[in-house]
Amino acid sequence: MKKIYISMFALSALFFTGCQDDFLDVNPTQSIPTSDTELYNSDSGAKTFVTAIYSKFLDWDMSSFGWIGLASITSDDADKGSSPGDSGTDKDVLDALTYNSSNPSAESTFIAQYDGINRCNQALAIIPKLDKADPALRERLMGEAKFLRAFMYFTLVKCYGGVPIVDRLQNPTSEEDKKMLLTRKPVAEVYAFIEKDLADAIAVLPLKSAYSADEKERASKGAAYALLAKVSLYQKKWQQVVDNCNLITGYSLNPSYAKMFRLEGENDIESMFEINGHGAVPTKGIQGYSNVQGARGAGGWGWGFNTPSQSLLNAYETGDLRKDATIIFRNSTLYDGRVVPSTVENAMYNFKAYSSSFTDAWETDANIKYLRYGEVLLMKAEALNELGQTSAAIPLLNDIRHRAGLGDTPATSQAAVRTAIWKERRVELAFEFDRFFDLVRTGQAKAAFAADKSEFFPNGRTFTEGKNELFPIPATFIIQANGLSQQNPGY
C-alpha cells in the first residue's frame, strides 16, 4: 500500500500537513517533495492524489462535530441535545442562533473546505505530469478532483456567501497569490466557478455502473449532474434543474427507506455520492461522527448531540415509515436488537448516524449520504412546479410518498404543491445536512424558527433576516485579509 504526502497551504498563513486515513484503501501519508512526481508516475500513483481528497471527508473538522453543529443543530430539525450543562464548545450558541465571528464551528468548517480544495488543486497540478499513467485514467481522476472541488465550493457558498476562489497551487510570497487567497468573490462568480468545474467533470467522468466494486465510492457522471441540478436549484434556475435531472440515468429509489442508512444500503441503487466510513483497520470511518450523536447516559453509547426536535417529530404524517428510520426513541429496541433504555438522557437521537457493528467506536462504518436519487425527484418536482408544470410535478412527489408508506398528496394548486414539496424535503432528507439551507433558500426561515418551540426555547428562536442567512466569515480570516475582504452583515 502506497503512502504519499500532500503539502497543504489553505489560506494565507494557515498551513496543514499530511492527510488522514481514507476509505479507498490508502494508508496514512508520509512526506515526499511534491516536485518528485516520478515515484507516483503510474496508474496507482495517480489515483493516490485524488484518494487524498476523498480522505479529507473523514476528518473531524470536515464532516464531524463542527459541521454537525453548523449545518444541523442550527436547523429546526435538531436540538443541541447532550446534557444541559455540556455546551459542546459552541453547540449551545449554534442552537440559539447567537453565534458570532469567533465561532469555532464556522471557522473549522471554513478552513477544512480550503484544506480539501488545496488537495484538489494539488491533484490537478500533478496528475497531468504523470505521463506513465493511463491517459484516460488521468482524465477521469481530474474529473473527480473537479467534482470534489465543486462540492466544497458549494458548501462554502451556502454557508458564507461569496468566498475566495483558489483555483491553483499558490506561492505564499507572491502578492498576486496573497490577494487571490484573501479576496472574497461575489456569490455569482463562485456559482459560475462551481458550474464550470462540474461541466468539466461531467465531460470525463464515467457512469457509476462503469466503476469496479472496490471503487464504487468515487464520483460519477450521475453525481455531477445531480450536484449541478442542486446548484441550479439554489439559484432558482428552474429549467436547468429539470434539464440536469433528466440527464441522470441508472438510479432508482431503494424500496426500503430504512435500509438505505444501514450497512446493507451503502452505495445502493439510490446513492449518487456518499462519504464512506469503514470501521475496520487499516481503513477508517468519519472521526467521531457516530459517537458524538450516539445516545448519552446510562446504557448509552455516545455524546448525545444533534437530537431530533419536537418540530421534526410533528412533521411526520401518521404512518410515515421514515419517522422510525430517522429517529431513535428512548425505551425502544433497534433493528439489530440493541435496547435503548429509559436511562439515556434524551428522548430522541439521530438514527442515520447509528452504526450497529461499531456502536462504541470513534471511527465507525456509518456513511453520510450527500446526494441520492430521492432528492433528484424532489428537485425536479420543485422546478417543474415553479415552471408552472404542476401536474408533472405531482407524480414525482407521490413516488417519494409511496415509498414512505403514504398515499398521494392532496395538494393540487401550484402554491399547495410548493408547500407539500418543501415539507416532503424536510422529512425525506432529515439529518442529511439540507434543512437549514432549505429554510434559507425558500424564505421559510424566520417563521420556521419562531415556531420551533422546545423546553429550552419555549418561544421559539429568533432568525434575524439580513444576518442569519449566512454564517460568519472567521474573524481570523478577516484580520488576515487586511481590508481585502469584509465580514458578512450582522457579525
Q: pLDDT tens digit string along 258-278? A: 999 999 999 999 999 999 998
Question: Could you tell me what percentage of the chain is helix, strand and coil, using 3-state DSSP and rounding each to the nearest 5?
Answer: 45, 10, 45
Confidence band of 97 (pLDDT split at 50, 70, 90): very high
CB environment 297-319: b (16+ within 10 A), e (fewer): beebbbbbbbbbbebbeebbeee
User: From the CB of residue 87, how many other CB atoms can be counted at a distance below 10 Å?
Assistant: 14
| Mean local confidence (pLDDT), 416-421 | 98
Q: pLDDT over 70 for what percent of the chain? A: 92
Neighbours of 191 (CB within 10 A): 20
Confidence of residue 461 (pLDDT cuts 50, 70, 90): very high
Mean pLDDT across 329-333 = 98
Check whether 23 has a pLDDT greater than 60.
no
Q: What is the pLDDT of residues 129-141, one digit of tens each?
A: 999 999 999 999 9
How many Å apart are CA 53 and CA 434, to the nearest integer? 23
Judge whether 326 and 92 are in contact, CB under 8 Å.
no
User: What domains are defined for the chain?
Assistant: 39-204+443-490 (1.25.40.390), 290-314+328-355 (no CATH)
pLDDT given at position 36: 62
Tell me the three cell numbers of residue 25. 484503501
Q: Are 63 and 275 within 8 A, CB to CB?
A: yes
Q: Which residue from 130, 109, 139 is spatially nearest to 39, judged by alpha carbons?
A: 130
438 in Cβ contact with 422 (< 8 Å): yes
Three-class DSSP category at 321: coil
pLDDT at 39: 86
The Cα diameter of the chain in Å comes to 64
Q: What mean pLDDT value characterizes the chain?
A: 91
Work out the average pLDDT over 81-88.
97
- Within 8 A by CB and 6+ apart from 348, the residues are 307, 308, 313, 327, 328, 329, 330
